[in-house]
């Protein structure tokens, strides 16, 4: 924009001289900066020094001239009309200049936005934004999650007490049988405690992602058993909402990894299905051993994910437009952490969405192939 305007102008908070004339001496010394704060409403304003100004767009304002037939006047303006005659601009010429400047500013703004978009896209492709973003907000996250340790201790006390009550009241051989025989209230407390434990575990990987591959945290385990543990935790909530869960396939392979970290993937798949499924709908879960590893998928019916959102849903704290409409509450970091876990163990979560069903929503499937 430099040297393109006929009059003095402000562009992105900086002052530039015009082609026809420079900034008046009064404007250079001005402490009021009225022209800096002009409204973008096509109004021809008059400053206290008697000069006119008008805001072309949010980043561009012309000033330091005298519109010949301006409605507003003042003693300072009348004085300027005699002293600064070369700054007087005919209204017709002013209108032409404004129209031209609006056209130029739109073109340049478009060019700037395109350049910004190119830079952003390159930045996103590099994946560096994820680390940079987390570095910027980690302190705030730490503050927000400062009570996680306290919550875990409180929850541990709840879990311990409900376990004692169930062990004492029911004379079955295994804890699982005792829980099955427990009252509705006892089951609700037991499974809510388990659910909260997993929610709090997810938070620690947001704060300390290096724990995902930390050797001391790894163990050999059968994935099918891990998956069933999470399904049992969620089954109570699925039943409460009348959501029908069907399971197909089975896995016999063992994995050597951090079980809590892999649990984040399972937990996130099941949690999203619970969160966005309508009451009475179906959730289909599949697990199977493949040559390359263990395939795990969860199919449910939920809100439409727009084409432009398909990759963004794995970005930190992003939530799709329709997902927010369906469920206002949500932090938007579940899929981000789950994808982070997947990539750190050498795989990637994918999502597929089929056509819309008016009674159930959009068929949505999250898949992952866990390398063995």
Q: Give the pLDDT means over successive 10-residue stretches in the chain (372 positions).
A: 75 88 91 88 92 90 93 93 92 87 70 69 60 60 62 82 89 83 86 80 77 92 92 88 94 94 93 89 95 95 85 79 70 82 94 77 93 90
Which residue from 253, 257, 287 is spatially nearest to 269, judged by alpha carbons? 287
Question: H helices within the chain, ranges in order?
Answer: 25-29, 75-83, 91-126, 128-144, 148-169, 175-181, 184-207, 223-240, 259-276, 321-326, 334-344
Which residue from 70, 72, 79, 94 is spatially nearest to 18, judged by alpha carbons? 94
User: What does the pLDDT read at residue 358?
Assistant: 65
Q: What is the DSSP letter of 306?
A: P
**Whole-number Å distance between alpha carbons of 115 and 271:** 39
Whether residue 6 contacts residue 19, with contact meaning beta carbons closer than 8 Å, is answered with: yes
353, exposed or middle or buried, with CB in 10 Å at 0-12, 13-18, 19+?
middle
Domain with CATH 3.30.565.10 in the chain: 209-372
Which residue from 327, 329, 350 is spatially nearest to 338, judged by alpha carbons? 350
User: What does the pLDDT read at residue 348?
Assistant: 95
User: What does the pLDDT read at residue 112?
Assistant: 65
210 forms bridges with which residues in the sheet? Answer: none
316: which 2 tokens?
């930190």
Residue entry with tokens 């930390």: 214
DSSP 3-state of 331:
coil
Topology annotation, domain 209-372: Heat Shock Protein 90 (3.30.565)
190: which 2 tokens?
């037991």
User: What does the pLDDT read at residue 367?
Assistant: 96
337, exposed or middle or buried, with CB in 10 Å at 0-12, 13-18, 19+?
buried
Give the number of other CB atoms < 10 A from CB of residue 70: 16
Give the number of other CB atoms < 10 A from CB of residue 6: 18
Which residue from 152, 176, 157, 156 is spatially nearest to 166, judged by alpha carbons? 176
User: What does the pLDDT read at residue 8?
Assistant: 92
User: What does the pLDDT read at residue 1?
Assistant: 45
* Radius of gyration of the chain measured on its C-alpha atoms: 32
Q: What is the DSSP letter of 103?
A: H
What's the pTM? Answer: 0.59
Give the number of other CB atoms < 10 A from CB of residue 151: 15
């Amino acid at each position: 924009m430099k040297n393109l305007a006929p009059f003095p102008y402000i562009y992105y908070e900086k002052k530039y001289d015009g082609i026809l004339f420079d900034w008046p001496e009064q404007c250079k010394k001005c402490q009021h900066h009225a022209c800096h704060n002009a409204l973008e409403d096509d109004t021809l304003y008059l400053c206290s020094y008697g000069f006119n100004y008008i805001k072309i767009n949010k980043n561009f304002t012309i000033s330091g001239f005298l519109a010949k037939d301006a409605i507003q006047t003042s003693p300072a303006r009348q004085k300027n009309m005699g002293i600064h005659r070369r700054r007087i601009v005919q209204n017709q010429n002013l209108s032409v200049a404004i129209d031209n400047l609006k056209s130029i500013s739109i073109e340049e703004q478009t060019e700037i936005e395109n350049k910004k978009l190119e830079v952003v896209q390159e930045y996103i492709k590099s994946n560096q934004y994820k680390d940079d973003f987390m570095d910027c907000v980690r302190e705030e996250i730490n503050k927000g999650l400062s009570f996680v340790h306290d919550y875990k201790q409180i929850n541990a006390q709840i879990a311990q007490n409900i376990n004692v009550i169930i062990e004492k009241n029911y004379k079955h051989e295994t804890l699982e049988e005792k829980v099955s025989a427990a009252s509705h209230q006892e089951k609700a407390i037991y499974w809510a405690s388990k659910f909260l434990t997993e929610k709090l575990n997810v938070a620690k990987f947001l704060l300390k992602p290096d724990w995902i591959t930390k050797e001391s945290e790894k163990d050999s385990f059968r994935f099918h058993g891990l998956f069933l543990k999470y399904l049992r935790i969620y089954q109570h909530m699925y039943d409460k909402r009348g959501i029908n869960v069907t399971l197909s396939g089975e896995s016999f392979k063992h994995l050597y990894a951090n079980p809590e970290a892999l649990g984040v993937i399972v937990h996130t798949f099941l949690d999203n299905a619970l969160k966005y499924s309508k009451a009475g709908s179906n959730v289909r879960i599949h697990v199977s051993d493949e040559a390359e590893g263990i395939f795990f998928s969860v199919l449910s019916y939920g809100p439409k994910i727009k084409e432009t959102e398909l990759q963004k849903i794995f970005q930190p704290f992003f939530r799709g437009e329709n997902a927010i409409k369906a469920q206002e509450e949500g932090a938007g970091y579940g899929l981000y952490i789950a994808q982070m876990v997947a990539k750190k163990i050498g795989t990637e979560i994918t999502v597929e969405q089929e056509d819309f069903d008016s009674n159930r929503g959009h068929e949505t499937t999250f898949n992952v192939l866990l390398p063995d």
